[in-house]
Amino acid sequence: MESGADEITVRNTDPEINAVLTTASDAEADYSAHFNQSEEFFLLLSRTFTVPPIPIHHDVRVEMPSSRYREILRHVVTQLLSIAPDLFKGMTYFFEPGDVLRPAFFQLFKVDDLRYLYLLRVDLTFRATEAELLMRGSNDLTAEYRTDRLFAEAILIPIESVKESGGAVSALIVSQSISDTWIGETGNGYFVQGIWMDRELTKFFTRLFVPQGVRFYPYYPFICKYRTVCHLVAHPSLEGRRRHAPILHKAYRFLLPEMRRIEAALRSAEFSEELDVFKALKARVPDYWRDLFSSLTVKAYLNAHERKEFLVEA
């Protein structure tokens, strides 16, 4: 998948992997949602799965995955389907040449007159503190490992339109509600760094809808990505996706008319609940949001290795 200014291009879906995905059931699986101390999201599964060695060197100009890569991914997907089948119910796989260790799966939803892309990226990167090493990696292959932690990003994105080719999705046009998140630069010479307000927008969106007193860090339900308002799905089952699409829809509809005011405020100041535009919008937030997020809790705990993690419950 390639991301342009407003387009997500779908490349080379694999018929054999998609055939495996069609066997997924919507039965609820036993897993829980967490963040590690680095704020990476993962699902703690009921049992382990194994990731075989994956070839490292890949020419990003080659848009078709190798037969070996497809074989490895089918093996991983088959294992995950036996543990948590509802994660992949209704999903379609596609290959992204520039990100072979994070295979992508997608599904489209429609709420009223708008469509939303559900994008699931499964992260197969070996993490030494999160998995059991079975075989060391090399210059040519990643490590083989076993783990009960599925690191992933599950995100809902507003879509303006869908392009098709040969009866299949070929591109998705993002409904970009934010004009630009670039603010400027800081530093000099080799130490120049860009400044974007994506993080401040994420704080604004989430603080606006999550009631006072609800602990949610490091889970931000609403984030700024692709220059629009997106929603991180903490419980990415089929039923979870169906429930979360209308949630993003309501938030998107609420924010859209106010986006230029929000951008203007954050271009000249960091996010604060004392911003005039924030206070004005907070006063108008319907009771729906208070009821929706009142049961959201994020609990900090220490894992077996004495490292801080967070459990997301809703």
- pLDDT recorded at residue 166: 81
Tokens of 104: 């992508």
Packing angle of the helix pair 198-209, 238-255 (nearest 10 deg): 100
Determine the 3-state secondary structure of 256 from DSSP. helix
- pLDDT recorded at residue 181: 67
Q: How distant is the alpha carbon of residue 296 from its chain centre?
A: 19
Determine the 3-state secondary structure of 229 from DSSP. strand
CA distance 174 to 229: 10
Residues 102-161: pLDDT tens digits?
999 999 999 999 999 999 999 999 999 999 999 999 988 999 999 999 999 999 999 999
The answer to whether 24 touches 86, Cβ cutoff 8 Å, is yes
* Beta-carbon contacts of residue 231 (< 8 Å; ≥ 6 apart): 155, 156, 221, 222, 223, 244, 247, 248, 251
- pLDDT recorded at residue 244: 95
- Containing H/E element for 32? strand 32-35
CA distance 278 to 203: 11
- pLDDT recorded at residue 12: 81
* pTM to 2 decimal places: 0.91
Residues 176-193: pLDDT tens digits?
888 866 544 444 444 434
DSSP structure string for 158-201: EEEEEEEETTEEEEEEE----S--EEEEES-GGG-EEEE-HHHH
Tokens of 122: 């499964």
Per-residue pLDDT tens, the chain, 314 aa: give them: 444 458 888 878 889 999 999 999 888 788 999 999 999 999 999 999 999 999 886 777 887 888 999 999 999 999 999 999 999 999 999 988 888 899 999 999 999 999 999 999 999 999 999 999 999 999 889 999 999 999 999 999 999 999 988 888 888 999 988 886 654 444 444 443 434 588 999 999 999 999 998 999 999 999 999 999 999 999 999 999 999 999 999 999 999 999 999 999 998 889 999 999 999 999 999 999 999 998 899 999 999 889 999 999 97
- pLDDT recorded at residue 167: 81
> In terms of Cα–Cα distance, which of 159, 150, 120 is closest to 241?
120
> In terms of Cα–Cα distance, which of 179, 184, 207 is closest to 196?
184
- pLDDT recorded at residue 141: 92
